[in-house]
Structure 1
C-alpha cells in the first residue's frame, strides 16, 4: 500500500500505520528535552526519516525517495531538506554514503543510516538490546554481546553454534558442511576448501550460510569454484551470517507472537496486566470489533495490544491475570485500587 500520492508533481504524505516504537520515537523528536542540538528543520527531517526505519533493524540503511522524504518531513523545498540532512549528519544522528552510476558518474543512491546516538536520543535504544561493545572492528562486533535474560529468539533460533562443533561420524566432516556432499562435492574438495577458508581467516560454514541460496542449483566443481572465489573476497562472512540468523530468528519470533496475538480476545476482557517486576500496567480491554485493536487501559492512558505486546507476553515480560486473582496477593488487582 502506498502511503503518499503524487499531486501536481509533488509527493503528499498520507496517514500510515507505524509500529508503536516508531510512533514514540517521532514524538521524542519534538520533545523539549530531546535533540537539543537540532533546529526545527533538522527535527522535521529526522521525523520524516523515522517513517522508513525498520523496527527490527533500526540501523539498517534506508533508501527514501527525495520527494517522499520531503513530504514525510512536512517540508516544501529540496534545499531545506538538504540543510536538515546536513545538520543531522554534522550532529551525529545519521550517516550517509553516495554511489555513482557507472555510465555517467552521477550520484543515484544516498542510503541513510541512523546512528547509536539517534537511537538513544529517540528512545529506540532498547531495540538494539544493548550498547555496542568497545571491541568493534570495521563497524562489526568482534565479540557477541551476552544478554542478562533469555528471550524467545534464543529458544527458536538456529542451532548454528552447535552444528559448527559437531562432526558427522560417517564423513568426519562438520555437520554444517555435509550438505556439500549431496551437491556432488567430494570430501577431499571440502577439506581443501576448509584449509583455504582457514588461511583466509574465515569459517567455511559461515560462507556456506551466506551463499547457500546462490549455489543451490550448482553441482560438483561449480560449487567448489564458486566457494573458492568467495573466499578471495574481503567480506566478514561471520557477521553477515549472524545478521541472517538474527533476521530469521526475529521472523520466527514474530510468527509465534502473531499466533499468540490472535488468542488475545474477549476471554481476557477485564484481566489485569502485570509487568515482570510485579507492577500493575493496566486492564485488558477487548476490541469491540474485528477491525480494532484491544487496549491496555490505565489511569495514565492506554496502549495498543499489538505484536510488540504479544512478544512481551511470550517472553514473560508481561502477565495477564484475572483481576481478583492477580499475582502479588488476593485482591491486588481489584477495581478499588484504581
Structure 2
C-alpha cells in the first residue's frame, strides 16, 4: 500500500481508502460488510470514510462494529456532517453549531471511538454563517473529538474563505472531498490549483464513476443483474445518466486495451488515473464483495505511462465533464427541512 500526506499536515493516509456510501446498511448486509472491511485491512488499507447520513446513521454503526478490536492508532477514520439524519427535524441538517456538536457526539458513539481523524463538512451551508461553522469545528478539534477538519464539494472561493478562518482560529483544515474520475474532472480548473496553494488535499470519491469505468455496462445492453444500476437502494439514480448514454459507454470500452497493456483491470486503471494527480491524497473505493475491495487496493502505487494517459484522454474525448461551475451547484441552495 502507498501512503500519502493529507494536505500540509503530518498525517499519512492510505492512497486507496475504503468508503461505505451506498453499501453498508443498504446494499450489503452487516456480515458481508464486515468481510469487506476485513479485506480492506488485509490489503493494507488503513483509511476508512463514512458519513452520518449514509443509510441514516446505519453505515457508521456497521463500520464501527467492523473495526472494533483493531488498534485505533493504526487507523484513520473519516466521517461527515451536513445532510439530514434522524427524523429530519428542523435542526437535523446543516452546519449550525447545534447540528455539528450533536452530530459529532452521535458519530463517535456509532463508530465506537473517542475521536475521528478527519471530520468533514459534507457540503457548503448557504444558510449558516461560515464563522459559526468554522468556530464550531474549532471547538470540536479543541475538545479532542476530531484531529483534522475537511470539507466536501466546496468551490475554490469557499475553500479560500474557510481556510482563512481556520488559520485565524488555529485548527488544521486539510482536505476537500470531491467527485473526481477520468469522466468527471470539474475540480481541475479551479479547486486543485487553489488547494495546492492552501495546502489542501483531495479525498476523492467515485474514482471509477460508480462502476461505469469498470466497463461492465455495455452500449445497447441492459445493465448486468445485481449491478448498482439495477439496485434502487444502492444509488441507481446517481448513474442513470451515464448508463443510459450508449456513446459514453462505447468510449469507456476503448479503455480496455489500455488497461490490458498496463497489466491492470479497467477499475484499477481508473483508480490509478485518479492517483496520478499529486493533489489527491486518497481515492475512496467501495465494494460489495471482498474480492472487489482487494482488487481495488492493488491500484495503489501503479504509475501510468504518458502514452496511457494520452490514450485515456483520446478514448473518452468529449464525454469528459470539466465545467467547474458544477461544484457550486452540488450544495443545496434551499433548506432540506
TM-score range, shorter chain: under 0.3
Higher normalized contact order (CA 8 Å, seq sep 6+, divided by chain length): 2
TM-score by length of 2: 0.23
TM-score by length of 1: 0.23
Larger Rg: 1
